[in-house]
């Protein structure tokens, strides 16, 4: 898979796609959606779609595609190569969401959670297929979380298409298995060849599976934490594992929208009855306060 | 700034090393060196709507701020030696990057207002011409 565009800039999102098979613009198609790398604290999350004409579904099944989790890395690689060979009737497209995009979305002023990000990415990929002229008739989606609400949401967006959202769809529908293979191949390759934006010293390439409960991943996080900057952008700062390491091993950072504990400026109620006059600090004119200017007569 | 009324002070012009500075929209309540050149600078991207980077997983948008003409910025460092305190300039700057949380600081930025003060101060302290 050619991920050179991602390797050039992995701070945002990156779309990759196969050419659209001509037959998919003529015949009604079935389209599968799946994701890879949702749970890990390291690396990108990849969303993929795979589609083929309904009449050729048996040919896709004949490739013996299966849920990517049940396949070894080399088997996934081999199956992806086969799908590429069958490019006259199988098409795919994927979105690589960089860990930086995931962090900045989830930690935004207006929180954009992983579910919304996932749903919007999936919708974007279906829309892309439609824009390319693919005659999408049926969509199958794998899901984590309750499938009913997600199905309703997707169905509303694509009224002319029959949408099926199901847990473990990647094991049930070959077109979803094929999408899961595309996503997993891209995620594995992206993680393996990750181009660190930062200039890190004695970078350790052994980061384990990237899952928060992997001791290797945890050890890697502890090794590469910087007291001021936290982690390299390869890390999802919004993950609890990352946050708790930062709490103990890095400096505190307060933002203008940080939650503050107690309200300052309110004295204890007893202070109103005490005899000593309340000392009021002499404040500069509002002009200076608004500009953050302080007099420098005393240094 | 230069003092002109104290003749006793010996005036010397020293060339200070120019430095690149970033003003972030957050507080890190410590004073310590940070690997800016390894973590921050290489991550800055130029986008159609200005500069982009992230810090601690939060998105920042930035713009260049130029020190008003006629003025120079200095980075001052305080050092305490026993009873005495020494304040010295370690580097100089004529511009810096101002970062806002998720949005460009824009014309209403506090620092931009602060940089207007010297010209206003000069105007209000200027001699009023007698008619």
Let me know: does A232 contact A224? Beta carbons within 8 Å: yes
A236 and chain B in contact, CB less than 8 A: yes
A253 and chain B in contact, CB less than 8 A: yes
**ipTM of this complex:** 0.84
Of A262 and A79, the one with more pLDDT:
A79
Let me know: does B49 contact B104? Beta carbons within 8 Å: yes
Sheet holding B22-23, edge to edge: B22-23, B95-101, B58-66, B50-55, B45-47
User: What is the length of chain B?
Assistant: 131
The residues of B whose Cβ lies within 8 A of any Cβ of A are: 25-30, 32, 34-35, 37-40, 42-43, 45, 52, 54-59, 78, 85, 87, 101-102, 110-111, 113-114, 116-117
Of A253, A256, A290, which has the smallest distance from its Cβ to B56's Cβ? A253
Q: Are A229 and B39 an interchain contact pair (Cβ–Cβ within 8 Å)?
A: yes
CA distance A214 to A158: 39
Residues A262-285, mean pLDDT to the nearest whole number: 62
Phi, psi of A189 (to 5 degrees): -65, -40
**pLDDT, position A247:** 95
A295 and chain B in contact, CB less than 8 A: no
Summarised one tens digit per residue, pLDDT across range A78-87 is 999 999 999 9
**pLDDT, position B95:** 94
Of A106, A197, A255, which has the smallest distance from its Cβ to B42's Cβ? A197
Residue A264, annotated ligand binder?
Answer: no
Q: Are B57 and A230 an interchain contact pair (Cβ–Cβ within 8 Å)?
A: yes
Of B30, B40, B57, which has the smallest distance from its Cβ to A107's Cβ? B57
Summarised one tens digit per residue, pLDDT across range A62-112 is 888 877 778 899 999 999 999 999 999 999 999 999 999 999 999 999 989
Q: Which two tokens stand for residue A289?
A: 């306060």
CATH architecture of A4-192: 2-Layer Sandwich (3.30)
User: What is the length of chain A?
Assistant: 299
A196 and chain B in contact, CB less than 8 A: no
Which residues from chain A sit within 8 angstroms of residue B42, using beta carbons? Answer: 197-199
Let me know: does A135 contact A26? Beta carbons within 8 Å: yes
A107 and chain B in contact, CB less than 8 A: yes
Phi, psi of B96 (to 5 degrees): -155, 165
**DSSP designation for A167:** T
Q: What's chain A's average pLDDT?
A: 90
**pLDDT, position B1:** 41
User: Residue ranges of the domains in chain B?
Assistant: 22-125
Q: Are A299 and B55 an interchain contact pair (Cβ–Cβ within 8 Å)?
A: no
Lowest mean pLDDT among A9-13, A253-257, A293-297, B53-57: A293-297
Q: Are A253 and B38 an interchain contact pair (Cβ–Cβ within 8 Å)?
A: no
Summarised one tens digit per residue, pLDDT across range A172-203 is 899 999 999 999 999 999 999 999 999 988 88
Domain B22-125 of CATH type 2.60.40.10: no
Residue whose structure tokens are 């709507």? B49
Q: Are A107 and B28 an interchain contact pair (Cβ–Cβ within 8 Å)?
A: no
Domain A199-253 of CATH type 1.10.10.460: yes
**pLDDT, position A267:** 58
Query: Looking at chain A, which residues constitute the CATH 1.10.10.460 domain(s)?
Result: 199-253
CA distance B38 to B94: 23
Q: A228, A231, A241, A287: which to substitute to probe chain B, counting the most B Cβ within 10 Å?
A: A228
Query: Looking at chain A, which residues constitute the CATH 3.30.420.10 domain(s)?
Result: 4-192
Residue A257, annotated ligand binder?
Answer: no
Q: What is the mean pLDDT of each run of 10 residues along chain B (131 residues)?
A: 49 76 93 93 91 97 93 88 87 94 91 88 85 69
**pLDDT, position A272:** 62
CA distance A221 to A230: 10
Which residues from chain A sit within 8 angstroms of residue B78, using beta carbons? Answer: 299
């Amino acid at each position: 898979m050619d991920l050179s565009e991602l390797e050039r800039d992995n701070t945002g999102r990156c779309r990759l796609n196969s050419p659209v098979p001509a037959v998919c613009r003529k015949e009604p198609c079935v389209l599968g959606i799946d994701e890879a790398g949702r749970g890990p604290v390291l690396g990108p999350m990849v969303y993929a779609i795979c589609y083929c004409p309904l009449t050729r579904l048996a040919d896709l099944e004949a490739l013996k595609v299966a849920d990517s989790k049940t396949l070894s890395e080399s088997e996934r690689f081999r199956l992806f190569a086969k799908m590429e060979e069958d490019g006259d009737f199988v098409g795919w497209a994927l979105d690589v969401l960089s860990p930086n995009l995931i962090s900045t979305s989830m930690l935004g002023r207006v929180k954009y959670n992983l579910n919304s990000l996932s749903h919007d990415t999936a919708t974007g990929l279906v829309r892309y297929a439609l824009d390319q002229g693919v005659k999408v008739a049926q969509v199958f989606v794998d899901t984590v979380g309750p499938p009913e609400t997600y199905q309703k949401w997707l169905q509303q967006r694509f009224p002319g298409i029959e949408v099926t959202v199901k847990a473990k769809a990647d094991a049930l529908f070959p077109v979803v298995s094929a999408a899961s293979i595309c996503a997993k191949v891209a995620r594995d390759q992206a993680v393996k060849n990750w181009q660190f934006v930062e200039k890190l010293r004695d970078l350790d390439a052994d980061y384990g599976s990237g899952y928060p409960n992997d001791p290797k991943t945890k050890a890697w996080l502890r090794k590469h934490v910087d007291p001021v900057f936290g982690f390299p952008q390869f890390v999802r700062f919004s993950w609890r594992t990352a946050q708790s390491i930062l709490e103990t091993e890095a400096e505190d950072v307060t933002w203008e929208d940080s939650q503050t504990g107690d309200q300052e400026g309110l004295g204890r109620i007893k202070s109103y009855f005490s005899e000593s006059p309340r000392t009021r600090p002499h404040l500069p004119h509002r002009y200076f306060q608004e500009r953050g200017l302080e007099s420098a007569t005393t240094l | 700034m230069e003092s002109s009324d104290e003749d006793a002070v010996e005036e010397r012009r020293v060339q200070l090393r120019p430095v690149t500075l970033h003003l972030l929209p957050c507080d890190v309540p410590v004073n310590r060196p940070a690997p800016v050149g390894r973590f921050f600078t290489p991550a800055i991207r130029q986008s159609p709507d200005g500069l982009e980077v992230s810090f601690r997983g939060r998105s920042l948008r930035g713009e260049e701020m130029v020190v008003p003409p006629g003025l120079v910025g200095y980075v001052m460092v305080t050092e305490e030696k026993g009873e005495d305190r020494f304040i010295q300039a370690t580097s100089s700057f004529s511009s810096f990057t101002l970062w806002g949380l998720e949005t460009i600081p824009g014309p209403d930025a506090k620092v931009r207002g602060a940089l207007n003060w010297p010209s206003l101060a000069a105007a209000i302290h200027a001699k009023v011409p007698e008619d």
